Amino acid sequence: MKTVKAINRNVRISPDKVRVMAKQIKGMSLKDAQAYLGLSQRKASGPLLKTINSAIANAVNNESMEESTLELKDLQIGESMTYKKPKYRARGRMDIMRTTFSHIRVQVGSIQEEENLVKDSKEAKHKVEEKEVSGKKKSAVKSAPKEKKPATPSRVDKKESKKDTGKETK
């Protein structure tokens, strides 16, 4: 099974913001994901769409795959460098503002090749099962059912028993 990847490095947006969009498109087809990201108003949708389009272009142009048979295999969002800048506060103090950058990794693969592999593996598994059935006899011995443990008193029962044994108040 062939997979093609595209990586967009040092995107100036927080990885958490990109992960929100990545989770939303994780199970979608490529066309649906492209349409969703194209209409989304979030800042993370632009770099994510750009990376997906790049992965599709790599598959079509470099690996001669058909665009209609492509499927989103893997989508990873990683942390990149952190950009630090000062934020001036009262009484001459200063805080450090941190802006984290992101790496976006997209893997795209072909659906048809995967289906062929699944069919081949099922046929091979079926042949192995036929050999096992013809070579061995099935035993009709059944294991005895497990004994059930006695029920323990619930929390409510324990509380009630403590109330009964307690001292009486006037």
**CA angle centred on 120, ends 135 and 125, rounded to 5°:** 25
Tokens 């058909």 label which residue? 66
Cα–Cα distances in angstroms (integers) from residue 28 to residues 33, 74, 75, 146, in the given order: 6, 12, 12, 45
**Cα–Cα distance for residue pair 81/73, rounded to 1 Å:** 26
**Cα–Cα distance for residue pair 25/40, rounded to 1 Å:** 11
Q: Where are the beta strands (DSSP E) in 12-145?
A: 70-88, 94-110
Q: For 153-166, what is each residue's pLDDT tens digit?
A: 555 555 555 555 65
This prediction's pTM? 0.65
Per-residue pLDDT, 155 = 57
Q: For 41-95, what is each residue's pLDDT tens digit?
A: 999 999 999 999 999 999 999 999 999 999 999 999 999 999 999 999 999 999 9
Per-residue DSSP letter, 83: E
Residues 11 and 45 sit within 8 Å (Cβ to Cβ): no
- The CATH-assigned architecture of domain 3-112 is Alpha-Beta Complex (3.90)
Tokens 């490095």 label which residue? 9
**Cα–Cα distance for residue pair 29/33, rounded to 1 Å:** 6
